[in-house]
């Protein structure tokens, strides 16, 4: 069950990377690292398996910012969000089931994890 959840998390994050044009080899390698790190996490806390997709997405966001200076995924902006400066979406809930990409500036729920559109 944990392996299926990890594979699902990987697929959903990679889908969103493809949708935003950020599916380079280096970035997909970052996803692989996040999945490997969360494999240990779900082994230690099997009940956390249902939360692993959102955690992998957050790990990838953090790594992209830290390693590449990239804020991912970008908020789609107007007309849905009127915030003038470029900013990224965040996963909500922080630790919960059914993770969604949400603009924290406008409180707009943009898409479920794995369902961003180009």
What was the pLDDT predicted at 79?
A: 80
pLDDT tens string, the chain, 118 residues long: the values are 889 999 999 999 999 999 999 999 999 999 999 999 999 999 999 999 999 999 999 999 999 999 999 999 999 888 878 888 889 999 999 888 999 999 989 999 999 999 999 9
Which pTM value belongs to this model? 0.94
Please say whether the dihedral angle defined by the alpha carbons of residues 29, 30, 32 and 36, taken in this order, is positive or negative. positive
How far, in Å, CA of 109 to CA of 99, rounded? 10
Give the residue numbers spanning the domain of 85.
Answer: 2-112
In a domain, 117, yes or no: no
What's the structural domain count of the chain?
Answer: 1
In a domain, 118, yes or no: no
77 by Cβ neighbours in 10 Å (0-12 / 13-18 / 19+) ranks as: middle
Hey, what are 116's tokens? 């961003």
In a domain, 80, yes or no: yes
């Amino acid at each position: 069950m944990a392996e299926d959840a990890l594979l699902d998390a990987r697929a959903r994050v990679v889908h969103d990377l493809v949708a935003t044009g950020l599916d380079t080899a280096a970035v997909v390698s970052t996803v692989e690292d996040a999945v490997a790190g969360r494999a240990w996490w779900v082994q230690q806390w099997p009940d956390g398996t249902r939360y692993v997709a959102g955690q992998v997405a957050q790990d990838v966001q953090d790594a992209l910012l830290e390693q590449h200076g990239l804020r991912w995924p970008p908020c789609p902006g107007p007309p849905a969000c009127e915030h003038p400066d470029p900013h990224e979406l965040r996963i909500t809930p922080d630790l919960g089931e059914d993770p969604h990409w949400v603009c924290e500036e406008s409180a707009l729920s943009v898409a479920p994890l794995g369902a961003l559109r180009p």
